[in-house]
Structure 1
């Protein structure tokens, strides 16, 4: 009987399952079990209705408002379902000074929140499940956190050339150890290795033994500015070594670094513009349809490749004009090979974002504004209402009931 009940409940949307928490103590215990949340998530991954796009609003205008506001929308091409999600921030943070979504994994989001301006590291790191709304866990900082938390002038911060240590974070599930892990990638130009990993079961940070050289990397080359794409058990980012651009990987189970070559044409174009640890053209990596993808944008065109049969085997998907666009971020691939691209329209931090669907196949390329079919890319209201203000580029996630306990196992 219990097995039948589990099978029925695992097919329901998260919102419906959460309501059963109040039915009885037995149902509450059943729904919170790890085997049930994983079974429910595995079913939700194949349901289009469970795929959502989460965006962070602009920071609160009221300095006393210690909350973060998110905007969740359906990925349905037929009907756009909109919803608001709110996170109460810890007392030692101030979202008006800055907040950032680093990544999403299994419906969980890793969020950084600052408490002062012009510092590289957020004061608070927390894991939050927007589907269950009230669940969030505060993560401890590593002992290296304070070495990168020094204040600097605003000009130094914005230019970035004087910062000798920067970092970003990724969250992923390690199937070998059955644990969720946070990876901290430190970009130290003095060559010192301070990359760290945090296992939620252990509840502590540790330095990763450097088993192979990952070369010089630069924060400006990350996909989406800050994201570390995770696919096939590894995080990925772009690096440069011996004047060659390539993809660096880090496997969270074996803790081994690797290298993946890029198309020769892209490497030669990017390196020809190499200057002061920066690559002036827009390049990055992301995950589309469960595969690693690579994009390259110059003043005229945006090009997108996808990994085909193995490391280094790239298949070009399409090329589209990009002359009036500041940046293009690959966001999601639908089952019918439609790709959702996020267009940043200008260089400003508080910029507008437009989502456009690109379809490719035997009949060439077609594109349309998503979710509205409109030819004018400069229109204001695409995925948001005008009265809610600026919204940052979104991250696609699958609604889930998963929530790992800190130091208590999954």
Structure 2
């Protein structure tokens, strides 16, 4: 096991960063092993939040100075607080970092966060870009949180985003991805038959607007929930709690197998392909590519090792949730239309746990679904999301 191997750092190395002799992930509160995912760590909200008048990157200024310049109010999160829609909050995270000089980081929202239309971005001191931790970074972490549609209730210790650690590891080239696809089927259809993947700047992902036997192809978030009723704010700790119809509209299958996305609306859809990520790889959905149209796909872009694959390839792919928001123009979306690219990254080592359902996955191998806070009705199937639980494989999986 080469401790200096290049690639996305796996769960066992992340664990050593927390509990090893040289601690790289620092926390005044003990870090639970459940925060450690196959290729990332879940980060926790701290004790206070700062509502600010605008999103920002600190650049040469400190984050503290930027917050003071833009501060609207400061609130405590110990007993919970409501984040109103379209308000910008900066939350210091419990964890901080002391990274090696050759290790960088990349962050993303967790799956449930993305499904609720909560936009989060990690910020570091002197940052010039969001969601990125430079090599050798030593210092605190902050999270920008904007709930785009719903009022949400948050508390200290909640986990809204996740962080990957990277040594070297440029994305897998199309040539190498094609060679991987010759050895391992990367995509299946609804009949669980392998399909030839479309590889061009990553694995192409298309949208399912025929429903695969279901009468529902999507959910659209309801808007106009002001004035805010604090008792109706979505508590992120609740599970199977809220009525779907109070927050979402169902989008039925159309005869023409298409749907027009209206500007500003937020949709939960399904990928047409059943995607697979072998345990020796991790993947990330590219959130926006202007060549696909004026819409953003997938806030929560991380796909874990073993997603739709299992330990030894026993799973014939898993459909992915597509979190989609149209921008300035109405967009006609048609069945099978390309909506994103899945970029594969090699793992530095095979992780000692892979994505799966045996230790509590909310969505693995299911149909179209909202986040776990909403009641599961008989009419709605469910779709797997890339970051909601993990499966502990045998010790032989370790490399």
TM-score, normalised to structure 2's length?
0.28
The two structures have a TM-score, normalised by structure 1, of 0.27
- Structure having the higher strand fraction is 1
